[in-house]
Amino acid sequence: MPMNFAGIREKTLVLIKPDGIQRGLIGEVFKRFEQKGLKVVGVKMMTLDEAKLREHYAHLAEKPFFPGVSQFMQKSPVVAVCLEGLEVIAAVRKIVGITKAREAEAGSIRGDFAMSLTCNVVHASDSVETAMKEVPRFFKEDEIHDYLKSEYENVYLAEELNA
Q: Which is catalytic among the residues 56, 59, 123, 145?
A: 123
Instruction: Examine the residue annotation and report whether 145 is marked as an active-site residue of this protein.
Output: no
Strand partners, 46: 78
CA–CA distances in Å: residue 70 to residues 7, 103, 110, 129, 142: 37, 23, 20, 23, 28
H or E segment and range at residue 91: helix 88-96
Picking from 66, 81, 63, the residue whose alpha carbon sits closest to that of residue 131 is: 81
Picking from 60, 78, 79, the residue whose alpha carbon sits closest to that of residue 69 is: 60
Helix 26-36 with 88-96: angle, nearest 10 deg = 130
Catalytically active residues, by annotation: 123
